[in-house]
Structure 1
Amino acid sequence: MDTKQAIIEAAAELLARSPSGDVSTRGVCEAAGVQQPVLYRLFGDKEGLLAATVDHVWDQYLGTKRVAEKSADPLEDLRAGWDSHTAFALAHPNAYKLMFAPTLRSAPEAAREAMRILREVLERLAAQGRLRVPADDAARMVMSANTGVALSLITRPALYPDAGLSTLVRDAIHHAILVEGGVDTSARDARVAAASTLLASLDGLTPAPFTPAESGLLEEWLERIPADGPFD
């Protein structure tokens, strides 16, 4: 193990045990057996160390998602993704809170990857005509709701003592973004679902039927459908 990795792992272990959710650079250096100048040379400052530590802890979680086999139904993957996200937050509360801490100047890379993985699942649903909002909007809705529930559970357990709240919010959000089988939808919902389906399939068309300029214009038109005036 190289020095940088040793420092990160020492920081991760101290962070997991920290009652306050914080670590000191002195404590990390002592645990890793290095001098503080080494830490600052490798990470720049404490914030750089914390960002690397968060990525390290989240990478273990995201690693399971990278190798997970896709189920036949992307909705099952969407539900499982929400539940595993909440479970991770409850198991690693300090690293989870740091991921979304406003004190970090830039979001850790893990935050971007988590959003990308979520969007891939939603694009599969869009390709099946099952999204009533564009995939980008749906990803932001799901991630913000999942994050909000998880942070509530780990930061205010007295106010939110039942982890079952996560399932209730999950199902409510999924109901809001999905066109459910057998449920009547408005003309607007049907049009938005059709637009989302077509948007999700554009990149997979081979050979490409449009020039880049034509594709950009078509995407702009399709993305306007949810935002423009009423269609009913």
Structure 2
Amino acid sequence: MVTEEEDTQRHRVRETILLAASELIAEGGAAAMTTRAVAVRAGVQAPTIYRLFEDKQGLVRAVAGYVLETYARSKDVADDDADPVTALRVAWRAHIDFGLANPGLYLLMNDATRANRGAEASPPSDIPDVLTVRVRAVAAAGVLLVTEERAVDLIRAAGDGVIRSLLASPADAERVSTLSDDMLNAILGRIVEGRGETSARPVDALLIQLRAVADELTDLSAAERTLLREWVSRGDAGRGSVARDVAAFGSRSAGG
């Protein structure tokens, strides 16, 4: 039976190894993270690494998770009381800056996450994804014109493209700022009301807002909130009838 002291020591050694591996990647890229180099940097024997992570691929996944956790805890620099679109811009720029300042860590984090959906590369469940949180705030403000999932996918893909493009060729501060801002403005112009031309119907923003705040409508019963979420989650083909249903539901609720 493992004692609490042994478990604490195991956790401490594991954290030391992950820190050593992440430092090696930051200094020399993914190729610098050999098992031998990690063991020397962490002050442990190679068998200890294999005992904790099974093999090098297991270590890579764990390092990606460690980096992602550290990143998620540090990148949410926007004030929660700020305008939600402004807060989203701040989070976007922090994401771009991190990728450019830590290319080895960023590429490992993203490539390992793609290859291991749901594995150790994913952040712990108690760490909210900052982008998802910021997009949810935009939706709750009633100005998001696409679903939250669609917005997150678009912004994440655009950010990854910007970072990889800038890493592939030398870029001065002006080019970094211009490309980053232009890309985000192009995305916001398609997904946020009043930020550009869009073919989205006015009702879309209302339905997306209702979906974002459904759990906060405590005057409704649990069954009514479930029904509301079902209405606003229907496909584009039924958007007109959904709007009428929501309006009728609101009138009935207001009238008691």
Q: Shared fold (TM-score greater than 0.5)?
A: yes
Note the C-alpha offset of 1:112. Answer: 8.0
Deviations 1:59-109, CA, capped at 9 Å, x for gaps: 333223457531330111000010000000011100100112268434512
Q: Is 2:55 the partner of 1:55?
A: no
Q: Equivalents in 1 of 2:39, 2:22: separation in Å? A: 12
CA contact (8 A) 2:79 2:87 kept: no
CA contact (8 A) 2:68 2:122 kept: no
Deviations 1:99-150, CA, capped at 9 Å, x for gaps: 1226843451239888732122222221221001111211111111112211
Q: Is 2:214 the partner of 1:202?
A: yes
Deviations 1:142-165, CA, capped at 9 Å, x for gaps: 1111122112222x115x773131
Note the C-alpha offset of 1:168. Answer: 0.8
Q: Equivalents in 2 of 1:166, 1:184: separation in Å? A: 20
- Alignment match of 1:179 (pick from 167, 185, 193): 193
Q: Equivalents in 1 of 2:89, 2:77: separation in Å? A: 17
Please name the residue that 2:249 is paired with.
Answer: none
Q: TM-score, normalised by structure 2?
A: 0.76
AA at the equivalent of 1:105: N
Structure whose alpha-carbon radius of gyration is higher = 2
The alignment's C-alpha RMSD in Å is: 2.9
SS in 1 for 2:123: helix
Percent sequence identity is 33
AA at the equivalent of 2:141: Q
Any gaps of 5 or more consecutive residues in structure 1? none
Higher RCO (CA-CA < 8 Å; seq separation 6+): 1
AA at the equivalent of 1:137: R
Q: Is 2:237 the partner of 1:228?
A: yes
CA contact (8 A) 2:25 2:33 kept: yes
Q: Is 2:204 the partner of 1:192?
A: yes
AA at the equivalent of 2:152: A
1:1-232 maps to which residues of 2 (within 5 A)? 2-19=12-29, 21-65=31-75, 69-101=79-111, 104-106=115-117, 108-110=121-123, 116-154=129-167, 156-157=168-169, 162-163=175-176, 164-180=178-194, 188-211=200-223, 215-225=225-235, 227-228=236-237
Q: TM-score, normalised by structure 1?
A: 0.83
Deviates more, 1:110-119 or 1:215-224: 110-119
Any gaps of 5 or more consecutive residues in structure 2? 1-8, 241-256
Q: How many residues align?
A: 224
AA at the equivalent of 1:192: D
Q: Equivalents in 2 of 1:33, 1:16: separation in Å? A: 18
SS in 2 for 1:70: coil
